[in-house]
């Protein structure tokens, strides 16, 4: 690790949506010279945007001849995107945002737990089964060039403003209301998440300090029952929390984790996503996160801006809740 760079020329491969946008915005606030590079189809960037198409084998041509103090790549599910970037872009430091989905097995919760065999291809929304394996291949591509100085961020569930999955925000929105709110009867199940702005601030700080290594990046685990109780207390709603057995929910075709007709953050049957990952090294390296209460109030503010009655990508409608409660 070298000395911190106070005035950094930073390239964000992305920068127009969710985490990439939050990273670029955090770097701008800290006074860095930030450039974003993306198609630009997801929205405006908080810094100058170079429009390019990473699906094009020559798509990085607009960046030729440039050198950056640091690069942050948030490529979601494409090994070719990452491979071409580390080969073609000159930088002093490289951050790649990976995922805890890279793990195939949970043993200790540390970064040395077994990961998937790498898949060297470009994925799509229709091939998410390869998501973790493509992340592993992408991590390896960065390490091939930057070695132990590569900053690999295996993020857990990222929440907050700009999250298009509607997962965490469902609970503050629902529990701020009234009536009977269906929840999974799994009070001891571990949950973990990290707010996008907290993660972005840590990523930028890591680039400033030239942090190297692989880290699990998420909040400390909170049992689901405690999480929902704290959210309800924070948002001050009149909803009655009604636990329903996990097998009953499965029999009634209620989805888990995300998606339509689902209960977000619920992870039945000991799925690896809900494992108790060791995030202490990231905390020791400067990762800080807001409390459940702060996250809930921020999420509720955003939910109200979007409209509490809007169609959602995750969660249950009141009609679906009534059907479930009538069947149990």
The reported pTM is: 0.94
DSSP 66: -
CA atoms within 13 A on the CB side of 47: 27
Nearest Cα to 74, choosing from 23, 119, 7? 23
**Spans of all domains in the chain:** 9-155, 167-191+221-274+290-327
DSSP letters of 73-129? E---SBHHHHHHHHHH-EES-EEEEEEGGGBS--SSSSTTS-BPPP--SB--GGGGG
Predicted pLDDT of residue 2: 45
Q: C-alpha angle with apex 42: 167 to 100, nearest 5 degrees?
A: 45
Predicted pLDDT of residue 273: 80
Give the integer Cα–Cα distance in Å for 231 and 18.
23
Predicted pLDDT of residue 270: 74
* Beta strand extents in the chain (DSSP E only): 9-13, 33-38, 49-51, 67-68, 70-73, 90-91, 94-99, 151-155, 158-159, 180-184, 190-191, 194-195, 213-217, 222-223, 240-244, 255-257, 262-264
Instruction: Determine the number of helices (DSSP H) and then strands (DSSP E) in the chain.
Output: 10, 17
Predicted pLDDT of residue 4: 63
CATH fold for domain 9-155: Rossmann fold (3.40.50)
DSSP 219: P
Task: Give the mean pLDDT per block of 10 residues along the chain (328 residues).
Answer: 72 96 98 95 88 96 96 96 97 97 94 96 78 97 97 96 90 97 96 95 98 96 96 96 97 95 92 87 96 95 93 95 96
Find residue 182's DSSP bridge partners.
242
Predicted pLDDT of residue 262: 97
Predicted pLDDT of residue 19: 97
Predicted pLDDT of residue 127: 67
């Amino acid at each position: 690790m070298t000395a911190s760079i106070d005035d950094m020329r930073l390239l964000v491969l992305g920068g127009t949506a969710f985490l990439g946008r939050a990273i670029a915005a955090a770097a701008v606030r800290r006074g860095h010279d930030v450039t974003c590079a993306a198609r630009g189809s997801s929205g405006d960037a908080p810094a100058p945007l170079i429009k390019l198409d990473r699906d094009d084998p020559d798509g990085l041509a607009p960046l030729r001849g440039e050198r950056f103090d640091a690069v942050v790549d948030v490529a979601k599910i494409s090994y070719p995107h990452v491979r071409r970037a580390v080969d073609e872009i000159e930088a002093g430091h490289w951050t790649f945002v990976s995922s805890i989905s890279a793990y195939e097995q949970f043993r200790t919760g540390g970064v040395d737990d077994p990961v998937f065999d790498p898949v060297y291809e470009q994925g799509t929304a229709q091939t998410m089964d390869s998501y973790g394996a493509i992340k592993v291949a992408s991590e390896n591509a960065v390490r091939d060039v930057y070695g132990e100085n590569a900053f690999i961020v295996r993020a857990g569930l990222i929440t907050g403003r700009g999250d298009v999955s509607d997962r965490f925000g469902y609970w503050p929105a629902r529990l701020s209301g009234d009536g009977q709110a269906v929840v999974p009867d799994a009070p001891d199940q571990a949950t973990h998440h990290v707010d996008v702005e907290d993660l972005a601030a840590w990523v930028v700080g890591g680039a400033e300090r030239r942090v190297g290594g692989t880290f699990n990046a998420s909040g400390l685990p909170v049992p689901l029952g405690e999480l929902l109780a704290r959210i309800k207390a924070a948002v001050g709603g009149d909803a009655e929390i009604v636990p329903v057995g996990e097998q009953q929910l499965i029999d009634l075709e209620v989805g888990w984790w995300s998606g339509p007709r689902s209960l977000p953050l619920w992870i039945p049957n000991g799925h690896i996503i809900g494992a108790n990952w060791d995030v202490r090294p990231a905390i020791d390296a400067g990762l800080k996160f807001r409390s459940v209460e702060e996250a809930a109030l921020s999420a509720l503010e955003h939910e109200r801006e979007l409209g509490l009655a809007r169609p959602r990508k995750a969660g249950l409608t009141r009609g679906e809740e009534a059907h479930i409660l009538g069947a149990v």
